Amino acid sequence: MRKRPQHPDAIVPGHPEKSGLGKRIESTDPHYLMPQAPEGEAKPMNSDDIAILKEWIREGAVYPHWAFEVPQRPVVPRPQTDGWVRTPINSFVLAKLEKAGLHPSPQADRATLIRRVTLDLAGLLPTPDEVTAFVSDTSHNAYEHLVNGLLARPTFGEQRAPYWLDYARYADTYGLHFDNSRDIWPYRDYVIRSFNANKPFDQFATEQIAGDLMPMKSLDPLIGSGYVRLGVSSNEGGTIPEELRVNIARERTEAFGATFMGLTVGCAVCHDHKFAPTTQHDFYALSAFFNNLDEKPFNDESACLDACSAHPYG
């Protein structure tokens, strides 16, 4: 019987010879070698990659997480092509094109330009009259005037809101069992209004996390706090209420991490995160904020009772 290998620390900074990772990538045992293919057959790393990985461990195995790195303003490159750059962003684009041996596309005609920007900012095609007016406008600020007009339209908020609503897990139904409808469209309209009003992000975030605790001059903060209630729920009669309540708190914590922190904290539900500095303790400490709501976890208790009474074994 093959002796089960020891399990040292995966990485011992400064000592690749003591690191489990260093041993596994050089092992000749196909059951121990890493990395492995999904079907279980070992696929060893090449010698150059192994040397780089071991040197990284020898140098301290520093693994900075991008989300916690202080942004540094990069030096604006100086492309060789003249006459194309209008903003510093153009310099970065052109430098990459030149490095790849490519050239900028010819400048779009005005009819194409209004089509592109209107689709981007309004989600709709421009009307024939709008195209004619823009093509005929020879003023030096015609494009800026066009963009400002599109930003002032209600369609701007309607176009931008879905990106936020996806992160906020907005849906018109609860997602489980009968997938009952819910009247939470005021939250959708709140997000649209917020984009159209160019609401400061700190206010936008606070209203959604704690809008019911804020002094209100309008109903917007209270409606914004509907963010917390956007997750899935159930009305299935066999569901254990406490289990559903805990799952809802977990889901809200995961959604908060992705939406407001830019982190996939959900890995820490079961164990310390493998890559991000989020421990399991961190996750459940954060979940405590969503675990003190006085609410019934079922989305529709009356529907649940009706379903149970109609069931032949209810």
pLDDT digits (tens, 9 = 90+) for 215-235: 888 999 999 999 998 888 888
* pLDDT tens-digit readout, 49-98: 999 999 999 999 888 877 788 889 999 999 888 888 989 999 999 999 99
Asked whether the predicted pLDDT for residue 112 surpasses 90, the reply is: yes
Asked whether the predicted pLDDT for residue 6 surpasses 70, the reply is: no
Q: Where does the pLDDT of residue 41 fall: very low under 50, low under 70, confident under 90, or very high at 90 and above?
A: low
Asked whether the predicted pLDDT for residue 44 surpasses 70, the reply is: yes
What is the model's pLDDT at position 95? Answer: 93
| Mean pLDDT along residues 179-208 | 93
| Mean pLDDT along residues 138-159 | 95
Does residue 35 or residue 42 have the better pLDDT? 35
* pLDDT tens-digit readout, 252-276: 999 999 999 888 898 999 988 877 8
Residue 36 has phi, psi (to 5 degrees) of: -120, 150
Give the percent of the chain with pLDDT over 90: 51
DSSP string, the chain: -PPPPP---S--TT-GGG-HHHHHHH---TTT-SSB-TTS-B-PPPHHHHHHHHHHHHTT-----GGGSPP-PPPPP--S--S---SHHHHHHHHHHHHTT--PPPPPPHHHHHHHHHHHHHSSPPPHHHHHHHHH--STTHHHHHHHHHHTSHHHHHHHHHHHHHHTT--SB-BSTT--B---HHHHHHHHHHHHTT--HHHHHHHHHHGGGS--SSSHHHHHGGGGG-S-BB--TTS-HHHHHHHHHHHHHHHHIIIII---GGGGGTS--SSSS--HHHHHHHHGGGS-----SBS-HHHHHHHHHHSTT-
* pLDDT tens-digit readout, 163-192: 999 999 999 887 777 778 888 999 999 999
What is the model's pLDDT at position 38? Answer: 65
* pLDDT tens-digit readout, 278-293: 899 999 999 998 888 7
